[in-house]
Amino acid sequence: MKSDYILPPESVSSDAVAQRLRDQVRERIQEGQLKRKKLVWLELTGCSGNIISLLNGFNPDFEYAITEMVDMVYSNSLMAAEGEEATEKLMSLLDDEFILAVEGAVSLKNNGLYNIIGRWKGKPLTALEAARIFGEKAAHVIAVGACAVDGGPSAAKPNPAQCVGLSEVVKRPMIKLPGCPCHPDWFLGTLAHVLMYGEPPLDAMDRPLMFYGTTIHDRCPRLHFFNKGIFAKTLEEPTCLFKLGCRGPVTRVDCPTRQWNGHTNWPIGVSTCIGCSQFGFPDQMSPFISYDITRE
């Protein structure tokens, strides 16, 4: 379900939403009301930062996700099988029901030969081919991170591999979780919603409203400095970073309330926001730092 309506912060904010969904999934699976579903995680053209981010999940952790929520059948980085054995396990899923999570952009150059993720029947299996095959068969598709959503850093200029976002090659509805990387909660909360209720309410750009409903600026703890016109002149100052290039006013995501690494910190806490969860990152968000303190 898509909507142009943006929910107020208190209804979508936080940890409470993702935590409640994950707890409900756990209870229903334990009670036999819900069955674990198979998850395919494809890593395409990128840095594998999203699977690493998922491994850093705090509540729940990654072990819980793959033992209680889903059966992760395939992951380029994490599965024990390798070579054609791994690819054979992947291809065997085509007759089963599964949820597809994709991180990384899709390389189009030379019909996808700039990114080969394995070999199948003696031939290279490109990221492009895998995205199309499994994108068409999956019960649900989740684009995880900036590169999968719209190309991200992998498609940044000059883009020699001709990378694009997943939706450019898989023409079907999908859930998009922009971020560089995607926060573990954004993925696990979305996955929990899919398991129990199906696709969560999305905005006009296919992002879950429960995580991407308001801008960073609207929840920023430094907002009162912005309202009073008190702007930092150097990055170490604890006031508003708008005139130094902060992208919080145009970036929709719940970083201010969710934070990262078990609420240890978040970008504004270390004096930066480069808009990594906004469409067009990084090219349209650069330059990341501006010293034009006269900007209105």
Q: DSSP labels for 254-287?
A: -HHHH-BTTTTB-GGGGT----TTSTTTTGGG--
Average pLDDT, the chain: 89
- Say if residue 153 is preceded by a cis peptide, omega within 30 of 0: no
* Cα separations in angstroms, 242 against 68, 121, 216, 250, 285: 42, 54, 12, 11, 13
The pLDDT value recorded for residue 51 is: 96
Write the pLDDT tens digit of every residue in 234-261.
Answer: 988 999 999 999 999 999 999 999 999 8
Q: Do domains 9-211 and 216-285 have the same CATH topology?
A: no
Question: Residue 11 pLDDT > 70, yes or no?
Answer: no
Map out the domains of the chain as residue ranges: 9-211, 216-285
- Say if residue 181 is preceded by a cis peptide, omega within 30 of 0: yes
Query: What is the DSSP annotation of 24-68?
Result: HHHHHHHTTSS--EEEEEEE-BS-SHHHHHHHT--SS-HHHIIII
Please tell me the pTM assigned to this model.
Answer: 0.90
The pLDDT value recorded for residue 28 is: 82
Q: Are 276 and 249 in contact (CB under 8 A)?
A: no
Lowest pLDDT segment from 107-121, 199-213, 280-294: 280-294
With cut-offs at 50, 70 and 90, classify the pLDDT of residue 292.
low
The CATH code that applies to domain 216-285 is: 4.10.480.10
Q: Are 269 and 260 in contact (CB under 8 A)?
A: no
Q: How far apart (Å, rounded) are the C-alpha atoms in residues 108 and 126? A: 10
Residue (of 73, 67, 72, 98) closest to 88 by Cα position: 73
- β-pairing, 70-75 vs 37-43, is parallel
Write the pLDDT tens digit of every residue in 147-191.
Answer: 999 999 999 999 999 999 999 999 999 999 999 999 999 999 999
Type of residue at 188:
L
The pLDDT value recorded for residue 130 is: 97
3-class SS of residue 145: coil
With cut-offs at 50, 70 and 90, classify the pLDDT of residue 287.
confident
Looking at mean pLDDT, say which of 7-11, 19-23, 121-125, 223-227 comes out highest: 223-227
* Cα separations in angstroms, 114 against 84, 157, 244: 19, 16, 37
Write the pLDDT tens digit of every residue in 91-148.
Answer: 999 999 999 999 999 999 999 999 999 998 889 999 999 999 999 999 999 999 999 9
Q: How far apart (Å, rounded) are the C-alpha atoms in residues 289 and 217? A: 17
The pLDDT value recorded for residue 25 is: 79
**Superfamily grouping for domain 9-211:** NADH:ubiquinone oxidoreductase-like, 20kDa subunit (3.40.50.700)
